[in-house]
């Protein structure tokens, strides 16, 4: 039996791997590779955020009655990440490596802090509160396309 923490924590690491590969390609100015890598990273991030926003957060809120607590903060941080991703995409279009790397540093800090909150608090709380239908939720999240 998998847990929400294991499932989404593994997905965090997959996103982190794509993020790092894109950052290396930008730093080395391998622009032919950058767009494809960034597209893969962006798709992985979009999928991850959708799994949380469409499946996990509504289930957590319904199961706990907490709609103004941790999920509200997570959604706000998701919006900040999306804004940074949009700005990073613009930097790629104009091939501005220093702009991209500055934005990626900001995104990296935001993602690391965000992931710590999710993996340290929200996912364990979700595993506990949603234990009865955890496997169904994981299956539903896994079915979301990027």
First to last CA, the chain: 24
d(Cα 74, Cα 51) in Å, to the nearest integer?
A: 13
d(Cα 46, Cα 50) in Å, to the nearest integer?
A: 6
Tokens linked to 131: 């234990």
DSSP annotation of 120 reads I
Per-residue confidence (pLDDT) for residue 43, from 0 to 100: 97
For the chain, domain boundaries: 4-142
pLDDT tens by residue, 87-144:
999 999 999 999 999 999 999 999 999 999 999 999 999 999 999 999 999 999 999 9
Are 134 and 127 in contact by the 8 Å Cβ rule? The answer is: yes
CATH classification number, 4-142, choose in 3.40.470.10, 3.90.226.10, 1.20.1260.10, 1.20.120.520: 1.20.120.520
């Amino acid at each position: 039996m998998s847990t929400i923490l294991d499932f989404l924590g593994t997905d965090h690491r997959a996103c982190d791997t794509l993020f790092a590969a894109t950052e290396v390609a930008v730093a080395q100015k391998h622009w032919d590779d950058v767009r494809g890598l960034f597209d893969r990273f962006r798709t992985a991030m979009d999928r991850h955020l959708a799994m949380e926003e469409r499946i996990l957060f509504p289930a957590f809120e319904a199961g706990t009655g907490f709609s103004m607590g941790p999920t509200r903060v997570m959604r706000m941080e998701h919006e900040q990440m999306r804004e940074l991703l949009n700005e990073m995409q613009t930097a790629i279009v104009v091939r501005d490596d220093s702009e991209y790397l500055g934005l990626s540093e900001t995104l990296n800090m935001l993602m690391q802090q965000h992931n710590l909150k999710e993996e340290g608090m929200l996912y364990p709380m979700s595993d506990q509160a949603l234990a009865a239908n955890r496997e169904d939720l994981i299956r539903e999240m896994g079915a979301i396309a990027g």
